[in-house]
Amino acid sequence: MFGARVEGEGISVKIPLCSTDEIRRVEVTDFDDTKHENPPILWWASQPMSPTAGKGVVKLWSGDGFAHHAPRPSVVPRNLDVSYTDPSGDGRDDVLDVRLLSRARLKAGEYWTSDGPETAEQIDGQLNCREPG
């Protein structure tokens, strides 16, 4: 499960990753779009350039830390389907409720998850990664 927090006009998302995982692209669609079999992409970012983005922290709508990104969408839907793909084309996704995120009371360094507030380390820890070495 992903974690997220509202920061000003944007949303910071923590994608669970192992230290050997790589993000190639992040995409956001409207989870509630029932008009399309494959809902149109509202926002995307690709080629992480910063260590933070490489560790799975994505600032939706800004593109901070990515080489390429789409402009902010004119309308942000209530439920966002946020997904990422790695260089092989595999990835994960999760649905984020924007209203719930905007009401979440979080401490510094915490993200809202379906299990409540968690740190980036706790979000990554759910994967049971096997570290190289």
Question: Minimal CA–CA distance to 123: which of 60, 58, 44?
Answer: 58
How many Å separate Cα 14 from the centre of its chain?
A: 5
For the chain, what are the domain ranges? 3-125
- 50-65, pLDDT tens digit by residue? 999 999 999 999 989 9
- Read off the pLDDT band of 115 (50, 70, 90): very high
- Spatial separation of the C-alpha atoms in residues 94 and 29, rounded to whole Å: 11
Residues facing 91 on adjacent strands: 85
This prediction's pTM: 0.92
- Spatial separation of the C-alpha atoms in residues 40 and 17, rounded to whole Å: 26
- Residue 131 pLDDT exceeds 90: no
Q: For the domain covering 3-125, report its CATH number.
A: 2.60.40
Q: Give the pLDDT score at 46.
A: 97
